[in-house]
Amino acid sequence: GGAGAEAARCVCNSGFVGNGEVCVALVDERQCDGVGSVWEDGQCFKRVSSSSVTFAEAQRICSEWSGALASLRSDAQSAVARELIGASTAWIGLFQPHQHLPSGSVFPPAWLSTSLAQQTEDHLVAGAAIGDAFRNWAPGEEVTFYNASNLTRCGFVDDEGRWRMGAFGGCESGRAVLCARNTPDIDECLTNTHDCDARATCLHPIRSFNCTCAQGYT
């Protein structure tokens, strides 16, 4: 098309998931990265760690998984979060920066840009400010948005799929980790797209593959 024309968009066929550029077959119709993962509304969600870690550690864990802390932009995505975390709580990509007191300027919580970047559905990214049409805050949370502090706050999802903000300065608390990314994991070993030697075994870590020589070969 001419200048200003919208870029063409691709949609994965039924039975496949992906971002339109990469589509892979579903072994399980909901899994996108093995057991404990769910593809919903254009994202792969996974509880990558059940250990109690800090917010900063959670960000690192999701980055190593090639994703980011999850953003939850629809009822369906919130339901997936509730399913994956069970009876616990997990860090998500909500963050409220500290205030430079006494300026009087208070910034409410917002989704981290890295978290929103994992969304592939335009309507779930557009209007992603905290005051937009989709909000899933736990009762009473919103009244705390404009409490000023020189400490940061970090967000998490509770066992009902509701969003909550931790205490000011509470980002060091231990919680599980809910990550999301915008492409499924491609198993090069399963799809035979690796380049391992015929005398080697293909092993599949996250988003890559390794070749291990068979016994008697180096």
Profile the chain (218 residues) by mean pLDDT over runs of 10 residues: 50 66 63 87 91 96 96 92 94 89 73 91 66 80 81 94 92 96 69 69 53 68
pTM of the model: 0.71
Distance CA 180, CA 91 (A): 12
Q: Please identify which residue in the block is written with the tokens 């980011």.
A: 68
- Give yes or no for a cis peptide into 102 (omega within 30° of 0): yes
Q: Residue 50: its pLDDT value, please?
A: 84
Q: What is the dihedral of CA 129, 65, 91, 22, to 10 degrees?
A: 40
Q: Residue 57: its pLDDT value, please?
A: 97
* 191: exposed, middle or buried (Cβ count in 10 Å: 0-12, 13-18, 19+): exposed
Q: Residue 3: its pLDDT value, please?
A: 43
Counting Cα atoms < 13 Å in the Cβ hemisphere of 64 gives 10
